[in-house]
Chains A and B, each alone.
Chain A
Amino acid sequence: KAGVTQTPRYLIKTRGQQVTLSCSPISGHRSVSWYQQTPGQGLQFLFEYFSETQRNKGNFPGRFSGRQFSNSRSEMNVSTLELGDSALYLCASSWDGQLNEKLFFGSGTQLSVL
């Protein structure tokens, strides 16, 4: 069974640009969550999608957005990039994201903003 796939692995952008990251969950998983990892802040929750609807949202500005398609694949978008957005962006999937269910993570997209 294929794991969680994130593309691209690496991205370099400049301030002010926008970026779109993609995540394909494990087959059959309907919940997709996004996390940001930075050296100073650890892993922070961005948002979660289930059945094409945002079910949970973290404390990030509106420049961070996402969506989920009918096949459960998800994208996240960051507009008007800032230097502080440089981070590893991780996607995680689970069957339906309920309690006592573990999340499976992808390898992440390393975003560098110059």
Chain B
Amino acid sequence: DQQVKQNSPSLSVQEGRISILNCDYTNSMFDYFLWYKKYPAEGPTFLISISSIKDKNEDGRFTVFLNKSAKHLSLHIVPSQPGDSAVYFCAARSSYNQGGKLIFGQGTELSVKP
């Protein structure tokens, strides 16, 4: 039972354009969402998060949108840079599950071409 899904295994965009990474979830108890970026042979690094009481959160070039009714979130990267090439994971947690239990999607590999 995949509660968090990233249906696009890969995405390729041109440098300077917008990258949009999508994530769907099925568990309505999820109330906090995070995006992580991962390079090969390294651990995931935190990018941006959003609480379910918001529908948008921005941090520099990164914006996360949350559509609770559709159980969908997306990460926008504008403008995209070659250094953004990595695997991006969305993750969700529920306040009913105490602590550090995150449910991750399968990841989307972003390639930004110069």
Contacts and interface: CB of A to CB of B under 8 A. Distances in A.
Contacts of A43: 44, 89, 91, 102, 104
Contacts of B91: 43
B34 A108 contact: no
Interface of B: 31-32, 34, 36, 41-46, 49, 51, 89, 91, 93, 95, 97-107
A105 B44 contact: yes
A44 interface: yes
Interface residues of A, number: 32
Interface of A: 4, 6, 31-33, 35, 41-45, 48, 50, 55-56, 58, 90, 92, 94, 96-100, 102-108, 110
A107 B100 contact: no
A97 B32 CA distance: 13
A21 B51 CA distance: 33
